[in-house]
């Protein structure tokens, strides 16, 4: 993923070998949020993490819609909806 400016804003474990990382990227003057699964690549000499194709890249204007949708999902799971 080509990026002029990428900032990690959050990460958390998905399971023992995968993480979910959230970056804010700037590309061609536009800002995007990238939510992506990363995996531990033990084959690399540095044991570093690599991104997968599994993820979501949204224009920053859509962040409020994503937050609303996630809150609805949380409320549905909690039996509030």
For the chain, the structural domain boundaries read 5-77
Percentage helix, strand, coil for the chain under 3-state DSSP, each rounded to 5? 20, 50, 25
Q: For residue 41, what pLDDT is reported?
A: 78
End-to-end Cα distance, the chain? 37
By C-alpha distance, which of 1, 43, 5, 46 is closest to 24? 5
- Write out pLDDT tens, residues 3-58: 458 899 999 999 988 999 999 999 889 999 999 999 987 766 666 889 999 999 99
Q: How far apart are CA 81 and CA 79, in angstroms?
A: 6
Superfamily name with CATH number, domain 5-77: Transcriptional Coactivator Pc4; Chain A (2.30.31.10)
């Amino acid at each position: 993923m080509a990026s002029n400016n990428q900032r990690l804003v959050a990460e958390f474990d998905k399971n023992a070998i995968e993480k979910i990382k959230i970056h804010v990227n700037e590309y061609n003057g536009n800002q995007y949020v990238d939510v992506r699964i990363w995996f531990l690549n033990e084959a690399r000499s540095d044991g570093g993490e690599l991104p997968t194709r599994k993820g979501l890249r949204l224009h920053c204007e859509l962040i409020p819609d994503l937050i609303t949708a996630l809150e609805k999902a949380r409320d549905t799971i909690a039996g509030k909806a």
